[in-house]
Structure 1
Amino acid sequence: MNVQSNALQLNPRNESTVLGSVTFGLEEFIDQQGGQSKTVLSRAGLQPGMYKKPNEPIPLQSFCNSMHEAACSTGNEHFGLNFGARFQPEGLGVFGYHAITAPSLRDALEGMLSSFNVFQKNSLLRLTQHQGICSLEYRLLDGDIKDRRQDAEVTIGMLNNVLRRALGPHWTPLKVHFQHPALVDALRHRDAYQCDVSFQRESNFIFFRAGCLDSPMPDADPILHGITLDAIAQLSGSVAQRLSVAQRVRGEVVDLLPSGELSLEQVAERLLQSPRTLQRALSAENQSFKTIVEVTRQELADYYLSYDQLSLSEVAFRLGYSELSAFTRAFLRWKSVSPSQWRQAVKR
């Protein structure tokens, strides 16, 4: 069967980045898992040995792609979960060393929050407290990145290991939330965190007791902490161009689609703008809210349909359709075939 695509196209985008230190141990782990690291990196648009220049930014999209390609190459559908679980804070370079040399976990997290945009551009890291419970949240803001599952599982694993550095190797969170659906067997996630793990949540969260914040960091070093702070300050001068308005809108669309209640007004409120101001900003970029929603749905449909564990009804739900029939009609308009026919065709 010849599968057609009538996908709309959006304009070129600004690029989000992450420091090359995030690739520390990646090539070795791919090879250990039975994959081909050189092939994986090439397909993802990355070069070998990027960890040797830990302060050099690499495209965040390419890093996310590398996680997906590594999962395919190794046959390990939990590659991101496994890589994140073994990734120690030192592997994060100056960003990680600044955290583990802080006096307390509170200081470590505050340092990570204040410098996160230096380490990874156009992403959210936030700590909130409510009734004695802390939630450490991670979320991509760049709407151009649709395949977010492996990245979320890698990053939550990395952050969890910063907490464990202060609280001990046997410490476990109260619970963990992931924004993506349970695309594969979720028992591995519960085994990794030794706590309840939920999917299809508002964002990616690690929950823990607020009293943990006062725990001392065992590797506290005021001199090295100061040195890393200076290094981060120097890196902050190379902060990349901010996301375009359309990219930010696409990010919010990705988050809101499963709610089934997506509107320009909702997105404008989340971006702290009036609907009229947001419309003008999109028009200045030759974009429209309607087109962004349509393109985002098409791209996400391709992504979700690649996972057999998601039923067509679940895919429709993730795209904001209340009924499977509505999704099927839209997909026929985009591809000229049904979702089930597309799923079968792309497997061949």
Structure 2
Amino acid sequence: MNATDVVNLFHRHQIENNCMACYAKIYTIIFGALWGAIISAGIIGNIFIIFVILMDKKLMSSSVNQFLLNLAIADLGNLFFCTPDVLMILIDRAWILPDFSCNFVRFLQEYFLYASVLLQMAIGVERFLAICSPMRMQRFSTKTTVLVLGGVWCVAACFASPYFLFQGILIHRNFKYCAWKKLHNPWKDYFKNFEVVVLYAFPLILLTTLYSIMCRVLWGNRGEQNIANQNQQEAILKLRRSVVKMLIISMLLYFLCYTPIQILHLLKYAAPIWLRLLLNGLSFTSSASNPIVYIICCRHFRLRLRDLLASISNCCFWMFPNIGRTEYECVDEAMTTKLSRSPYVSFRSSRRQTSRHNLSTLL
């Protein structure tokens, strides 16, 4: 069960009841505000992550950051191509896009969703090899990273291809909706069960196992047995722990967001439409929450966000100079000079510059 299935159920329920306004206005208001906030925050956040990584050569030199870049692209694509379905539900209409776009949109929705979970698996494997077998491999080489990323996107395209081949426009009582057209039971059930295994069960088992082993290595006694240079290794160990924490939180959010809707599919529970719509919004949260996790857990993203907010603030003050003017700006010039020479002021400034200069990238 995913966004496509929920939308199809919604449209089918409308068509069977031969009405286009079967639900109260409060549904539109609540789900419109919920989905609008989630999708807007997710699109802005993932664009910010993409921009930060692309603009920093040090970040691009790390294989983890290249995976995070592609994960942000996948999450952005998932949110963007799910937006048309959200709008059709909110305006209470069936398929309003051109007929030829049906299978393209469905394919891209599943394509980016598959790519997202496959990239999380690739990140888990890369971290496992770097942390648990450091003598053989510290990190993926550039060539290996490119090959893995290319493989992820190709595999995602293969898994999502049935949506391109078998989805199409169905007409019922003069209403059009985009659904399975050429794939019928039991093959459709076989494919959906296979999708649950690939999209949910196997990644859950694999990532849980890998991160459990990594936690035992990083926080157990074995994490300190390979220390050659005490200070350097402690800094590396601390950074690796913070990265693994960030990845574990991202993984947990993904599975927490998708678990309820997968349970409904496996139990074939005929939940009310409002509950299915709510769980569908919860699944969007997975793609929207990753940038927030990165900003909270990674100091580099926090500093770049602070710089961005400062630039926006300066731009606003430049456009509207009277906004920031207060009585406290009229201070004695001699006092300002005296304060600027204070060792505490210069210490803070020097410390901030040194901190940004020595900022480390993700390992």
State the TM bucket, normalised to the shorter chain: under 0.3
More helix by share: 2
Say which structure, 1 or 2, has more relative contact order (CA 8 Å, 6+ apart): 2
Question: Which protein has the larger Cα radius of gyration, Structure 1 or Structure 2?
Answer: 2
Task: Give the structure-1-normalised TM-score.
Answer: 0.25
More strand by share: 1
